[in-house]
């Protein structure tokens, strides 16, 4: 029997993951990550409430005052842990989450589209939580991600989950390869309906709980307001909306409200569907055009991470440019000096956005990827 630290969000996936790990004979310790963000969120609570004894808080800083904006999720997780008779703690990661938030704000401020969920996995879930696992003598760290691990030792492979519609392998590409042997992904071999069925049979209160689709620290649809609040003392990013030939067709309150491929909320009527095709941060311009102007056949990516031995300089792959997009046939090239990744698609892809991740697959296996430049 191995001791396992399980990241529990209060959702159905990590809750059933706890049950599956117990079934496998593991000693499970549930951990809820508090991020303390309560500025522009729908479920914010005040500091006095946050200090209530909802569950034990493991502070890294003795004089730190805890805040939390996911109290209902924490309560759901606590109830599940109580039902399954496992310990459940809250880990204070406000300082670490502040780095994720700063990254989020900075990327939008320069016209890029961040992916805080991937960054959170890299730095916190499969970074800081490993430190916590070490501190309690845990051999493994587990999550409720829909992805799978196959093989042993150096041959261990990260692959897609069997539920294609819920697969989350894309957001795990940035994990350090050395951690694969200490990861457990119990729900990756199930589809979502089965996970909900198991939760129902166990009598878990989260069996019918809706999936979280939004960034945990920002109210749905309010990311631009969040960014502007965080950069209140910065220079305005308001500017013009232009077409590819430079014709001004409107104005906007800030480039942080736009991303490549966006159609809704542009604020101008062109007589046919127009999309954001480029963001010129230097001039605060949002460039729009018809759908045919969205296509890109090549991208470059930096800060690459590989879960296999880095492939040869040029190799075929399936490349995925967003969490909810399909992987497309492509040829990838790794510069041996700069390590920059170039991906050339067999057919033009729409919505290639600087700041998002491109992930290379061999079939269902994650090879690695980088951040679109």
What are the catalytic residues? 120, 216
Spatial CA neighbour of 31 closest among 137, 118, 143 = 143
| 324 vs 362: CA distance, rounded Å | 18
The CA-based dihedral angle spanning residues 242, 247, 251, 256, taken in that order and rounded to the nearest 10 degrees: 20
The string over 269-302, giving b where at least 16 C-beta atoms fall within 10 Å of a residue's C-beta and e elsewhere, is eeeeebbbbbbeeeebbbbbbeeebbebeebbbe
Give CA 224 to chain center in angstroms: 18
* Neighbour tally for 164: CB within 10 Å: 11
- Host H or E run for residue 289: strand 285-289
266 CB-contact burial (10 Å; exposed 0-12 / middle 13-18 / buried 19+):
buried
Number of helices (H), then strands (E), belonging to the chain: the values are 8, 18
Q: For residue 36, is it left (φ>0), alpha (ψ between -120 and 50) or beta? A: left
């Amino acid at each position: 029997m191995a001791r396992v630290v399980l990241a529990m969000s209060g959702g159905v996936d990590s809750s059933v993951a706890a049950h599956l790990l117990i079934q496998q004979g593991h000693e499970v310790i549930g951990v809820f990550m508090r991020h303390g963000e309560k500025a522009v969120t729908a479920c914010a609570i005040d500091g006095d409430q946050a200090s209530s004894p909802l569950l034990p808080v493991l502070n890294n800083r003795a004089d730190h005052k805890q805040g939390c904006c996911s109290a209902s999720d924490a309560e759901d997780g606590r109830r599940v842990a109580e039902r399954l008779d496992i310990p459940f703690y809250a880990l204070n990661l406000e300082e670490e989450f502040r780095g994720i938030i700063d990254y989020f704000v900075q990327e939008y401020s320069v016209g890029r589209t961040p992916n805080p969920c991937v960054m959170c996995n890299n730095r916190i879930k499969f970074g800081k939580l490993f430190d916590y696992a070490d501190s309690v003598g845990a051999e493994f760290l587990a999550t409720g991600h829909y992805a799978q691990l196959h093989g042993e030792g150096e041959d261990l492979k990260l692959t897609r989950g069997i539920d294609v519609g819920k697969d989350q392998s894309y957001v795990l590409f940035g994990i350090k390869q050395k951690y694969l042997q200490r990861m457990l992904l119990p729900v990756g071999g199930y589809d979502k309906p089965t996970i909900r069925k198991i939760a129902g049979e166990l009598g878990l209160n989260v069996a019918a709980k809706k999936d979280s689709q939004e960034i945990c620290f920002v109210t749905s649809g309010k990311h631009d307001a969040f960014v502007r609040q965080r950069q209140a003392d910065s220079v305005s990013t308001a500017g013009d909306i232009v077409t590819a030939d430079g014709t001004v067709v409107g104005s906007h309150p800030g480039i942080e409200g736009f991303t490549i491929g966006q159609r809704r909320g542009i604020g101008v009527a062109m007589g046919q569907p127009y999309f954001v095709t480029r963001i010129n941060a230097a001039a605060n311009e949002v460039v729009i055009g018809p759908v045919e102007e969205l296509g890109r056949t090549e991208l470059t990516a930096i800060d690459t991470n590989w879960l296999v031995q880095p492939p040869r300089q040029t190799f075929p792959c399936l490349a995925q440019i967003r969490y909810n997009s399909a992987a497309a046939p492509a040829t990838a090239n790794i510069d041996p000096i700069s390590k920059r990744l170039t991906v050339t698609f067999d057919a033009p892809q729409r919505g290639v956005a600087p700041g998002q991740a491109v992930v290379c697959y061999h079939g269902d296996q994650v090879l690695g990827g980088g951040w679109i430049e």
